[in-house]
Structure 1
Amino acid sequence: MTMLSLPRRCIAACLLGACFITGMSVSASAQLLPERVEKAAQDRIAAGSYQTLVFGIVDGDRSEVVGFGKLDSGKPPDGDTLYEIGSITKTFTATLLAAAVLSGQVKLDTPVAELLPDFRIPSRNGREITLGDLATQHSGLPRLPSNLLGRTPSNPYADYDAAKLKAFLAGYDLPRDPGSAYEYSNLGFGLLGYALARSSHATYDALAVKEILEPLGMSATGTELPPAVTAHLAPGHDGAGRAAGSWDFDALAGAGALRSTANDMLCYLKANMGVDRSPLAAAMTLAQQPRSDVTKTLRIGLAWMTTGTGIVWHNGMTGGYASFIGFSPARRRGVVILSNTALDTDDLGFAVLDANASLTPTYKAISLPDASLDEYVGTYKLGENFLLNVFHMRAGLFARATGQVAFPIFPSAPNEFFAKIAGIGISFTRDAGGLVTGLVLHQNGNRTAPKLSAAELPRATEGSAVDAGALGDYVGQYRFDFGILDIALDRDHLEAQLTGQPPFPIFASARDKFFYKVVDARLDFERDAEGKISAVVLHQNGRDLRAPRASGP
């Protein structure tokens, strides 16, 4: 294992939670939800991990909806509560493609360029990106386009229109041949949905309504829903329990735009399982058929994943919601899970379908004094060139592994911490004198990591290359096209806050050069002829974005 295995997901989220437990069942006298999963759901609601969880379960010819938690209004969720389903939308897009293949409109090996003749679609070594490449995540396109960053970071896809999609594709060079390797790409599936809709002279929503939602009677699913349905939207929360707004999509709708209810998703689940006879049965079967290996125990069809034990599934996540859909190999048991907290629900889904599937332990966070949290701050060596950096922000402790995003960790006892993602636990170790000397990472086993001394730290992570008295030189506002970067001095360090985001500390690696610990990003400040700070350049995701200084202290 060379890296922390963070959750499988389409779109990133954050962490914590606060809630209250209640239960709801359409048929409580014959509940289909396994007892251990019910207890896990109750424990997670009680611990504040999720605000609400709604399960739609199919077992043979029986089905039910079971809900846990309370909404902001104080009401319990039910089968008509509306949620964002995130990347489960990709299975709808895959069904649209499969239906078009069966009707003879396209083939899986049709180049996407044929559907978008006015676009310049990247190719490599004479190999064009096909519709099948997009649907099996083998296109060679990145997870996200580099020009995604819009005016509202909290709603990142809202203003990503066809013009931006066209511009990105025109300037992108594929790093490998299409079809040669798996790489999960929201961009790729968004492009697939856009191309299918364009070729049908329709919007993505209109095409989904015509081909899938109306035939299945799913009147509470879509991207453009009537007020009577949207009134039931569960307000979203990030992984820390903070309010999170809904995500809206334009050109990339096929990657994650749909909203739905447990009642509607039961219709979709039953149709995919073949429980209910459906005009889409053949298309759904075609979409589910595994076509390529992702790992030794996971294969992908058209969007749908199949495990080594034969479970067919997909998940989803947006800024304030999480979801899971799957069914057993015998197609007798299936489940949909919807939540308005952006935390992975996969283990709950697999535990409904497989009695032997493990469930992530539920932890309850406690409070520790800020001074004691500082004792754990440091850099820990998990392996060669693989470090885990633990740092303290106003919101508490965060951890970030080499090449990955930061995530909060919460104390469950002195020296014992947990993350609300990927089943991660951390035990800090101390010497006889009480000093923290290392940690044990608990995730798919136990892994020991010693704490590095100051002399052992890589130069780029020292963060002390600028005298504290000179930090005020950088304070001010810097204007990007998409928002304002506000640099402020907080006691003995700088914090950078981008419009619509929380402030994050930045650390100096050299004069005028700073880096984040929460993400893989750098800030390089520029000076004018008089030596005064005049601009900043943000380096992130292969992009260099310059912002002139708008104001100073």
Structure 2
Amino acid sequence: MSATAVDLAPDEAEDRTADGTPVRDLLERAVTEVRAPDVVLAVSRAGRRTLVGGGSAPPRAAREEARYELGSLSKTFTVLLLAELARDGVLGLDDPLAAHLPDLPLPHPYARRITLRHLATHTSGLPRVPRDLVAGAVLRPYTNSYARYDTGRLLRAFAQTRTRHAPGSRWHYSNLGIALLGPAMEHATGTDYGTLLAGRVLAPLGLDSTTTGPGGGLAAVGYRTDGRTPLPPTDMAAFTAAGGVRSTPADLLRYAEAHLWPGGTASEAALRDVQVPQLRRGLGHRNTHTLTWYHHPAPGGPLLFHAGATFGQQTFLGFHPATGTAVAGCATRHDRGCRIVKTAYALLYRLCGEPRVTP
């Protein structure tokens, strides 16, 4: 497996851990643990960035600059947008979803009790996906049924769905729930989701290589489990808010850095809001969840992270406020053997044990 390193802060001394190990060496070793045609791991410490690319495909420098499909990592962008709109008084986090979908008939009583906060925190009681997507996902795992799912169909599916439990009573991951934030925010602002995200989040944070569509530049190509059969780009259609954002490794680090040091950014209040713990979840309720990030204990303070996947790509982004550390990972393969999420998480946790750094 090949590996190439890029220091994104070439004018400074090489970034090293407390025991003198170059961070680049850690990344080069970690890249070899990931099984995918293209792999990129990137670290930011005190704003100093180091990026390493590799993979089973022939060496190609462009993999470090490619735009990757973020899958469910897109949810963090959507909920940051929601928090921004809430800070501006455009809507409220505890508004009923039904208030922003006023013409939609909702025969099931619990549906009218679902709030925007419930959707953001996966406590709405809604299933992971609408029922009419389940069969296709099982029988045709590499066929993208989302591409034919327009907003009208999404809203009809919601209206016909009976919640699994009372809103706010349990945590249950739901792509359907996050997808519904898209039309809710569109109704509140009169602006489409892509334009909203670009104007209220991406541009203010300087995320020039992050988009909700193919965009310009080089697009990473996902592969089937065999690592050889390429897959077409993933069109998430009405589920774009839940999984349709694309970004480069450098932009992901920039996005994480905004969370690490929100002071002075255009979205300072919202960046802080999305990091506040909201509930406990997992086995024995040992893990915390914020408005959008998973929140795990780590040396010196919690680390926050989210992962995502499409049909042929996987991503990870996590950060540790106590040490000013962020790790991003991207891979062009989606299966249990890929290991990008496990590897990137372990790398972040390893760096959490380093002394505190400041920008």
Report the TM-score when normalising by structure 1.
0.56
Question: 1:107: which partner in 2?
Answer: 92
* Structure 1 position 66 matched with structure 2 position 52: yes
Alpha-carbon shift at residue 246 of structure 1 (Å): 1.8
Q: Given the alignment, which residue of 345, 348, 355 partners 1:353?
A: 348
Which residue identity does 1:314 align to in structure 2? H
* Structure 1 position 322 matched with structure 2 position 309: no
Question: 1:205: which partner in 2?
Answer: 194
Tell which has more relative contact order, 1 or 2 (C-alpha 8 A, sep 6+).
2
Are 2:260 and 2:321, in contact at CA under 8 Å, matched by a contact in 1?
no
Kindly tell me: are residues 328 and 226 of structure 1, through their superposed partners in 2, closer, same or farther at Cα, counting changes over 3 Å?
A: closer
Give the alignment of 1:108-123 within 5 angstroms. 108-121=93-106, 123=108
Alpha-carbon shift at residue 36 of structure 1 (Å): 4.6
SS of 1:55's partner is: strand
Which residue identity does 1:318 align to in structure 2? T
Distance 1:271 1:71 in 2: 33
Kindly tell me: are residues 121 and 219 of structure 1, through their superposed partners in 2, closer, same or farther at Cα, counting changes over 3 Å?
A: farther
User: Residues 88-135 of structure 1, C-alpha deviation per residue, up to 9 Å, x if partnerless?
Assistant: 100001101111111111112100111111223465469610000000
Give the alignment of 1:151-190 within 5 angstroms. 154-190=143-179
Alpha-carbon shift at residue 85 of structure 1 (Å): 0.8
Q: Given the alignment, which residue of 236, 247, 250 partners 1:260?
A: 247
Question: 1:339: which partner in 2?
Answer: 331
Which residue identity does 2:28 align to in structure 1? E
Distance 2:82 2:249 in 1: 24
Of the structure 1 ranges 122-131 and 212-221, higher mean CA displacement relative to structure 2 is found in: 122-131
Which residue identity does 1:157 align to in structure 2? Y
> 5+ residue gaps in structure 1?
1-19, 358-553
SS of 1:188's partner is: helix
Are 2:36 and 2:56, in contact at CA under 8 Å, matched by a contact in 1?
no
Distance 2:160 2:291 in 1: 27
Kindly tell me: are residues 233 and 126 of structure 1, through their superposed partners in 2, closer, same or farther at Cα, counting changes over 3 Å?
A: closer
Alpha-carbon shift at residue 216 of structure 1 (Å): 1.6
Alpha-carbon shift at residue 30 of structure 1 (Å): 1.6
**Percent identity (aligned):** 31
Q: RMSD of the TM alignment (CA)?
A: 2.5
Are 2:31 and 2:55, in contact at CA under 8 Å, matched by a contact in 1?
no
Of the structure 1 ranges 22-31 and 330-339, higher mean CA displacement relative to structure 2 is found in: 22-31
Which residue identity does 2:234 align to in structure 1? W
Distance 1:86 1:185 in 2: 13
Greater helix fraction, Structure 1 or Structure 2: 2
User: Residues 29-51 of structure 1, C-alpha deviation per residue, up to 9 Å, x if partnerless?
Assistant: 7256364553132244xxxx211
Are 2:96 and 2:112, in contact at CA under 8 Å, matched by a contact in 1?
no
SS of 1:50's partner is: coil
Alpha-carbon shift at residue 297 of structure 1 (Å): 2.7
Distance 1:195 1:297 in 2: 32
Q: Given the alignment, which residue of 292, 295, 301 partners 1:303?
A: 292
Q: Given the alignment, which residue of 167, 175, 183 partners 1:194?
A: 183
Question: 1:30: which partner in 2?
Answer: 14
Distance 1:126 1:322 in 2: 32
Alpha-carbon shift at residue 192 of structure 1 (Å): 1.1
SS of 1:104's partner is: coil
* Structure 1 position 41 matched with structure 2 position 9: no
Kindly tell me: are residues 130 and 39 of structure 1, through their superposed partners in 2, closer, same or farther at Cα, counting changes over 3 Å?
A: same
Distance 2:111 2:121 in 1: 20
- Aligned pair count reads 330
Greater strand fraction, Structure 1 or Structure 2: 1
* Structure 1 position 247 matched with structure 2 position 234: yes
Question: 1:52: which partner in 2?
Answer: 38
User: Residues 238-260 of structure 1, C-alpha deviation per residue, up to 9 Å, x if partnerless?
Assistant: 33313222210221111000111
Kindly tell me: are residues 134 and 318 of structure 1, through their superposed partners in 2, closer, same or farther at Cα, counting changes over 3 Å?
A: same
Task: State which structure, 1 or 2, has the greater radius of gyration over its C-alpha atoms.
Answer: 1
SS of 1:314's partner is: strand
